[in-house]
Amino acid sequence: MTQRTLFRFFSAGLFCLLIIGGCDSSDPNGGNEEEEIPIEAARSIDVSINTNEGRQAISPYIYGSNQELSSTDAFTVRRIGGNRLTGYNWENDYSNAGEDWMHSSDIFLLNNSGLTESSAQSAVVMTNFHDQSIAMGAESIITLQMAGYVAADKNGNVSAGQTAPSFRWKQVAFTKNAPFDTQPDRTDDTVYMDEFVQFMVNRYGSASSETGVQWYSLDNEPGLWASTHPRIYPEQLKVTDLVDRSIELALAVKAVDPDAKIVGPALYGFAAYETLQGAPDWEQEQTGKWFIEYYLDKMREAEQTHGMRLLDVLDVHWYPEARGDNRITLNDGTETTKDALARLQAPRTLWDASYVEDSWIGQWKQAFLPLIPTLHESIESYYPGTKLGITEYNYGAGNSISGGLAQVDVLGVFGTSDIHLATLWRLNGEHRYASSAFKLFRDYDGQGSVYGNTAVLVDLADKETFSVYASIHDDNDEQLHIMVVNKHMEDATAFTFNTESSTSYSEADIWFFDQRSPLVQQASSQSISGSAFTYTVPAQTAMHFVLK
């Protein structure tokens, strides 16, 4: 066993965190030493890692987002979704804001993408988005329109008297039942979804090609249509209507691109999971313990009827309700220490049956928690083989250390919990720490190096104060990745890592970010002798060890 002591070196208000031996000249925060302060480990903990046990594939598609966080993002999947997409007209690139902004029909999506309106080309918003995905080596999730109507014009506020059907809207049809046009007819009153899929296939190839669209999402948060888009769908959605629309639209997509994957139903939160937001026909139609099981069962029946899978990924959105002094997803500058502490624990609701968060969900919905195992149980019971996605989530404070640590923790949970798709939804403000959380997994050294794609067994006694995840690449344990989160607000901790592996590791390279800076930085390498080594991790720090 070897152990080294960490020191802080301060220079011009900056620092580098290194093992004794001097500051790496390549470190952007390196410089002359002004003072030297040893970091004493106030506590210690043992971590056991076995690379031969608990092996589980980590989906490459958990490292995704709906929006950019920085200019150097290395996302593997990108989703274009949100409330704006429900009323998006692909033929003219107009969309409707619904309750988010005066029910305005306009060119917001174009403007938001830095684009201009085109009279010659359709779906510029979508092609620009997918072009960006291709350029960064990411896959795309494209949202399709299922509520029934999309913006006909860009003329601003739609009044209650102009609720669909009216001249302010174009009707959505899932199938054209006629030859597709290379460029759609903007003069008719209908927008066709299968024609849009064909448009994308013509331009990029099918989903089986290198550049094709992999996933299509069945609209966005349908349980809220009556409140977010009352000019499009003013009545509370029925569960039967949602299922019928989902099947019809999925069939239309698969008829054009059989290899495309269908993602749905994009439920916004717990009330939608449970009863589709109090759907008027839920009680008479109920199957299973919540709406999710009803939906899965109906999509399974649809596969039996039509001879093809029409739901590939069960998709939910998750914005934690956990509270400190405030709900942790609030991002209005009022964060307190209690908020930060609650945020650091909140990822446990995803997987830990021993944890009860301070929220109405923690108080009243324990039968459905922890969330991810319950979702997997529903899938196994009602539609085996369906993958699980969380295409909107955020734990708040993306520009603070607590938000960064929570994001690292969540990505670790996704990797060990058989999540197939995950895309962060950016809340207001900067997300520098959240961005660094992704970089710690996807580009920790600035050279494109990534965390492993196979999770391995980790045994850790204190899961409240610390999180530890480990991985290898495929089935090769010559390189072992260990991701550590020290959630303690004040105490540095000496981690003793005991590794059981067919490989003898002699050195660990180390990258980290902490409460002083969101920049991912490199510490000096750690020598390893034998199967164990000890390393002191400062408080409020995320650290990536690469053993080789």
In this prediction, residues 194-205 reach a mean pLDDT of 98
> Token pair of 224, please?
């809220």
- Residue 14 — very low, low, confident or very high, per pLDDT cuts 50/70/90? very low
Question: Do 63 and 74 touch, CB atoms closer than 8 A?
Answer: yes
Phi–psi pair at 519, nearest 5 degrees: -70, 135
Question: Do 277 and 223 touch, CB atoms closer than 8 A?
Answer: yes
| Percent with pLDDT over 90 in the chain | 90
| Percent with pLDDT over 70 in the chain | 92
Convert the pLDDT of each residue in 460-475 to its tens digit. 999 999 999 999 999 9
The burial of 71, by beta-carbon neighbours within 10 Å (0-12 exposed, 13-18 middle, 19 or more buried), is given as: exposed
In this prediction, residues 99-110 reach a mean pLDDT of 98
- Residue 4 — very low, low, confident or very high, per pLDDT cuts 50/70/90? very low
Judge whether residue 507 has pLDDT over 70: yes
* pLDDT confidence of residue 428: 85
State the Cα–Cα distance between residues 243 and 310, nearest whole angstrom. Answer: 11
State the Cα–Cα distance between residues 63 and 79, nearest whole angstrom. Answer: 11
Reply yes or no: is the peptide bond before residue 280 cis, omega within 30 of 0: no
User: Any catalytic annotation for residue 221?
Assistant: yes
* pLDDT confidence of residue 239: 98
Superfamily of domain 59-442: Glycosidases (3.20.20.80)
In this prediction, residues 329-340 reach a mean pLDDT of 85
Mean pLDDT score of the chain: 92
* Pairing mode of beta strands 454-455, 56-57: antiparallel
CA angle 210, 213, 214 (to 5 degrees): 85
Convert the pLDDT of each residue in 440-493 to its tens digit. 999 999 999 999 999 999 999 999 999 999 999 999 999 999 999 999 999 999
Convert the pLDDT of each residue in 268-281 to its tens digit. 999 999 999 999 99
Arch. (CATH architecture) of 44-56+456-547 = Sandwich (2.60)
In this prediction, residues 512-535 reach a mean pLDDT of 95
State the Cα–Cα distance between residues 296 and 302, nearest whole angstrom. Answer: 10
Phi–psi pair at 481, nearest 5 degrees: -100, 135
Q: Cα separations (Å) of 54 from 117, 300, 455? A: 52, 30, 7
In this prediction, residues 299-316 reach a mean pLDDT of 98
Convert the pLDDT of each residue in 537-548 to its tens digit. 999 999 999 999
Choice between 422 and 30, residue whose per-residue pLDDT is larger = 422
- Residue 179 — very low, low, confident or very high, per pLDDT cuts 50/70/90? very high
Q: Sketch the domain layout of the chain as residue ranges.
A: 44-56+456-547, 59-442
Q: What is the pTM of this model?
A: 0.92
- Residue 9 — very low, low, confident or very high, per pLDDT cuts 50/70/90? very low
Count CB atoms within 10 A of the CB of residue 518: 23
Convert the pLDDT of each residue in 159-177 to its tens digit. 999 999 999 999 999 999 9
Measured in residues, the chain has a length of 548
Catalytic annotation, pick one of 91, 139, 195, 221 = 221
Reply yes or no: is the peptide bond before residue 370 cis, omega within 30 of 0: yes
In this prediction, residues 209-231 reach a mean pLDDT of 98
> Token pair of 380, please?
């196994």
| Residue whose token pair is 């409707």 | 96
DSSP string, 487-537: --SS--EEEEEEEE-SS---EEEEEEEETTEEEEEEEEEEE-BTTEEEEEE
